[in-house]
Structure 1
Amino acid sequence: MASTRAPRAGWRGTRLAPWLGLLPFLLYVAVFLVWPTLSVVAGAFRSEDGGFTLERIRALTDETAINALKQSLYLSFASAATGAVLGALLAYLIVTAPPNSLLRRTITAICGVLAQFGGVTLAFAWLATLGFNGLLTNFLADVFGASDTGYSWLYELPGLILVYTYFQIPLMVIVFLPALEGLRPQWREAAVNLGATTFQYWTKVAIPLLRPAFLGCALLLFANAFAAYATAAALISQGSFITPLLIRTALTSEVVLGQKGLGFALALQMVVVVAIVMTAYAVLLRRTARWMR
């Protein structure tokens, strides 16, 4: 009997060891992700007296909330599409370089830094470039006689698209590069041996294989732009034409009071959109993983 119990105890200890290692991460997720999400859901359906209500959800059908959602979706789609295409092209150029080349390692490192270069720092960089008395603004004014007061479109939707694309391109490089590296040279050699041209290889073999990865990365960029707040808040001090800024107005406005509940409802709306996008991303990522093994 003693000889059979000892292995069973060891097996149980081995089975519990991974969960004990994951405990700090699970605790972090519970505190900073699960609990805030549950608070948003509860706040969206809780009335001022603590009861259940759908009034805040109905407020999402107002013209202001709908327009903010449309603008947010357009901003996310435009920046994600631009970043996905340009980032995929840059990732392809990186893959063509030798794996240990200085150029490849340098560009990859730069993309890793720029992908995280956002928030107030990024907004200030663009203001210092194209804003009032910005570096490029003064240069264009001195050389071409342009206005030296900055450009108003920088503080509108076109400006946000441009600024968001700045960190979308390097992010696309980072997430799409493994898929390009997963293309095996043997597949191209087999296609050439069967008489395929370079164009036929890309249209019949490479692009169909890369399509799920490309679409999945584009969805990741969409969610990244849709949930971004700090850059837009620092760049646009007035106005709430996208959902994150409308949430800010609902929580901090001194003109229209008692809009905290609307902020919860808008946040829940964003959670639902991001959840749908990330679910689609996970499905596409699973399809990509089949041929990258």
Structure 2
Amino acid sequence: MATRPRLRGTALLGTLPFFAYVAIFLIIPTLVVVIGAFASNDGGATGENIKALGNEYILDAFGRSIALSAMSALVGAVLGAVLAYALATARPDGVLRRVVTAAAGVLAQFGGVTLAFAFLATIGLSGFVTVFLQDHGIDIYSGGVWLFELPGLTLVYTYFQIPLMVIVFLPALDGIRPQWREATESLGGTTWQYWTRVAGPLLGPAFLGSTLLLFANAFSAYATAAALVSQGNPIVPLQIRSALTSEVILGQANVGKAMALGMVIVVSVVMGLYTLLQKRTAKWLG
């Protein structure tokens, strides 16, 4: 009995690196953003930075960021769910499942400058696919240079959204028991009735939760867009970069922090909904 407090203290000591990591990379930056959003250039308190969020160019940036995140999340969720279902029907210990799952784990983290360069080298203005198609009379940029605009960003973001969906949605598919389908068939139910009345309602919260996670992932992404879009600030992360580093319009750093606070609020709401859906998923499929 005397050793229990000592063991408990040792266990708590082992969590110190985790809490230090959270404090340094999450809590402190969040506090800096919140305090800076309400700070004036002379160090006093002000609400002008928050009011600046009503400016048209900032509202447009938030609108484009939400549209980009929603489109890439929806496409990534649908295609990723189809791929995850194909893996769920494969042998659990098969080579195919292990290879695809490992590849999804790598590709979900493949972003930033590397991903932007890969797309530029492939379908950029001088990319080898673009040049090959042009040699055969097909110009994919006849309607404009879409790769450096929202359609191009959506395509690039979808590249890492699909494998992320596979990773987060596959456990839910694994939670569907084969006995439920057998019971449906033994009661005279069809495949359509099974998916609409049994599997669909059970997987719905998991699918919506995974889609919200993809939305938050795209909404907070910065490096890929920064490397791909060299001019203009079509989305909020690039607007924040401009506010913090611009040498043309000075004194906008705290406005950038106000925009970052807006992003924190949006992501917090999305992740709150994701947590609620995950709890419901765990209740039914746990």
Question: TM-score, normalised to structure 2's length?
Answer: 0.96
Q: Hey, what does 1:3 align to over in structure 2?
A: none
Do residues 195 (structure 1) and 188 (structure 2) align?
yes
CA distance in structure 2 between the aligned counterparts of 1:196 and 1:264, rounded to whole angstroms = 56
1:164 to 149, 157, 161: 157
Instruction: Say if 1:217 and 1:281, in contact at 8 Å, map to a contact too.
Output: yes
Cα gap change, 1:147 to 1:175, in 2 (>3 Å): closer
The 3-state SS of whatever aligns with 2:257 is helix
Cα gap change, 1:10 to 1:145, in 2 (>3 Å): closer
Instruction: Say if 1:80 and 1:168, in contact at 8 Å, map to a contact too.
Output: yes
Distance apart, 1:54 and its partner CA: 0.2
CA distance in structure 2 between the aligned counterparts of 1:68 and 1:149, rounded to whole angstroms = 26
1:257 to 250, 255, 270: 250
1:127-142 pair list within 5 angstroms: 127-142=120-135
**If you compute each CA radius of gyration, which structure gives the higher value, 1 or 2?**
1
The one-letter code sitting in structure 2 at the alignment partner of 1:96 is T
Distance apart, 1:132 and its partner CA: 2.6
Structure 2 runs not aligned, ≥5 long: none
Distance apart, 1:150 and its partner CA: 11
Cα gap change, 1:184 to 1:250, in 2 (>3 Å): same
Do residues 224 (structure 1) and 217 (structure 2) align?
yes
2:102 to 87, 106, 109: 109
Instruction: Say if 1:83 and 1:165, in contact at 8 Å, map to a contact too.
Output: yes
1:282 to 275, 281, 286: 275
CA distance in structure 2 between the aligned counterparts of 1:225 and 1:145, rounded to whole angstroms = 31
Instruction: Say if 2:41 and 2:251, in contact at 8 Å, map to a contact too.
Output: no
Q: Hey, what does 2:69 align to over in structure 1?
A: 76
Instruction: Say if 1:75 and 1:161, in contact at 8 Å, map to a contact too.
Output: yes
1:272 to 260, 265, 272: 265
The 3-state SS of whatever aligns with 2:136 is helix
2:45 to 52, 55, 72: 52
RMSD: 1.5
CA distance in structure 1 between the aligned counterparts of 2:273 and 2:61, rounded to whole angstroms = 23
Residue-pair matches, total: 286
Identity within the alignment, %: 62
CA distance in structure 1 between the aligned counterparts of 2:212 and 2:141, rounded to whole angstroms = 38
